[in-house]
Amino acid sequence: MNERSILVVAHARRADTVAAALRVVRALRDAGATPVLPAADRDELAAVEPGLADVSLLGADIPLDRLELAIVLGGDGTILRAAELVRGSDAPVLGINMGHVGFLAEIDRDDMDNAVHRVIARDYEVEERLALSVRVKDVEGRVVFETWALNEATVEKASRERMIEVVLEIDGRPLSSFGCDGMVVSTPTGSTAYNFSAGGPVIWPSVEAIAVVPLSAHALFAKPLVVGPEAAVAIEMLERTDGTGILWCDGRRSHELPPGARVVVRRSSHPVRLARLHPTAFTNRLVRKFQLPVEGWRGAS
């Protein structure tokens, strides 16, 4: 049987997360699997828990393409980091929630031992989530930066005191130009994150679509839009913009946008793969996350 390598993603900021990482590593070893840690994580975790100092390193000891799965101990932010780490592989990501209720981490810490057992037994389903391909072009049309996003790509003003001037384009046709604080281009997965805070629509994960939401736009027509999954969304920084903007993808990857820069966002050909043990209705997650009132519900007819 081939050696099974499973990535464990955590950080050392919380004692309970460090203890959970050690527990998961021991459980994987007891089952005959090879636990793997990112180099930065191992350095931080081993400083708190020496028992993690000899865990194999991603890249140095175990190549990316040998990963079977990633177990993530944390919230949605840690899962976004894990998705970045396994990008380019087929390894799905399984989130074990160590803090607040998140939309990506479906397993609570109390179910952690059972989750590891089911991973070892390969008793899980894989759900693919739409991701975004993001390119930045200069005024000559040359691609100067390329990245991706699971939640959202955001064009924002770089200076607090200045707004940016943009023109929004959908499928090669200009829609409107206006001054604003920024633009959010979101996936269904990210619709409950920055998109939600900006007044965008909540999109069920089963719906393939892309949301486009202006931030504090100075325009009559600057409403949230929902376009098809194959649409190309472009945001151009107009030459009259006083200052620069900045592109952020999932709050993790950024690039400066001078006047004349063009950001093109479309569906990525590589979705993000999430491991699910017992998929929960998205409605239930919304109710839990936002503590929505459901008193008086009499049940499905």
Q: What is the pLDDT of residues 233-277, one digit of tens each?
A: 999 999 887 789 999 999 999 999 999 999 999 999 999 999 999
More confident residue, 15 or 198: 198
**Mean pLDDT of the region 174-189:** 96
Task: For residues 143 and 74, give the distance between their C-alpha atoms in angstroms, rounded to a whole number.
Answer: 35
User: Is there a catalytic annotation at residue 181?
Assistant: no
pLDDT reading at 279 higher than 80: no
**Mean pLDDT of the region 25-35:** 96
Instruction: State which fold the 5-129+272-290 domain adopts.
Output: Rossmann fold (3.40.50)
More confident residue, 76 or 279: 76
For residue 207, what pLDDT is reported? 97
Residue 111 phi, psi (nearest 5): -100, 15
pLDDT single digits (tens) 155-168? 999 988 789 999 99
DSSP tag of 62:
B
pTM exceeding the 0.75 threshold for the entire prediction: yes
Given a contact cutoff of 8 angstroms between Cβ atoms, the answer to whether 70 and 6 are in contact is yes
Amino acid sitting at position 153: A
Beta 182-186 vs 34-37: how paired, if at all? Answer: unpaired
pLDDT reading at 81 higher than 70: yes
Percent of the chain at pLDDT > 70 equals 98
pLDDT-derived band at 137, boundaries 50, 70, 90: very high
For residue 300, what pLDDT is reported? 74
Q: Helix, strand or coil for residue 252?
A: coil
Torsion (CA) 178, 183, 188, 193 in degrees, nearest 10: -130
For residue 69, what pLDDT is reported? 98
Residue 292: CB atoms within 10 A of its CB come to: 9
For residue 1, what pLDDT is reported? 46
Task: For residues 49 and 199, give the distance between their C-alpha atoms in angstroms, rounded to a whole number.
Answer: 43
**Mean pLDDT of the region 191-212:** 96
Q: Which residues pair with 168 in a beta bridge?
A: 176, 235
Task: For residues 241 and 257, give the distance between their C-alpha atoms in angstroms, rounded to a whole number.
Answer: 11
| Alpha-helix residue ranges (DSSP H) falling in the chain | 15-30, 39-48, 76-85, 112-120, 194-197, 282-290
Domain edges within the chain: 5-129+272-290, 132-267
Given a contact cutoff of 8 angstroms between Cβ atoms, the answer to whether 20 and 105 are in contact is no
User: What is the average pLDDT score of the chain?
Assistant: 93
Given a contact cutoff of 8 angstroms between Cβ atoms, the answer to whether 154 and 194 are in contact is yes
Q: Helix, strand or coil for residue 29?
A: helix
Choice among 8-12, 144-148, 179-183 with the minimum mean pLDDT: 8-12
For residue 250, what pLDDT is reported? 97
For residue 299, what pLDDT is reported? 86
pLDDT reading at 228 higher than 90: yes
Task: For residues 57 and 220, give the distance between their C-alpha atoms in angstroms, rounded to a whole number.
Answer: 53
- Tell me which residue has tokens 């633009």: 183
For residue 110, what pLDDT is reported? 77
* Domain 132-267: CATH class, spelled out: mainly beta
- Tell me which residue has tokens 């007044």: 199
Task: For residues 92 and 67, give the distance between their C-alpha atoms in angstroms, rounded to a whole number.
Answer: 9
For residue 209, what pLDDT is reported? 98
Of the residues 41, 76, 181, 250, which is catalytic?
Answer: 76
For residue 301, what pLDDT is reported? 64
pLDDT-derived band at 215, boundaries 50, 70, 90: very high
Given a contact cutoff of 8 angstroms between Cβ atoms, the answer to whether 79 and 97 are in contact is no
For residue 161, what pLDDT is reported? 77
Task: For residues 107 and 101, give the distance between their C-alpha atoms in angstroms, rounded to a whole number.
Answer: 10
Choice among 79-88, 170-179, 235-244 with the minimum mean pLDDT: 235-244
- Tell me which residue has tokens 């793997």: 36
Q: Is 260 left (phi over 0), alpha (psi -120 to 50) or beta?
A: left
What are the percentages of helix, strand and coil residues in the chain, rounded to 5?
Answer: 25, 35, 40
pLDDT single digits (tens) 105-135? 878 887 889 999 999 999 999 999 999 999 9
pLDDT reading at 101 higher than 70: no
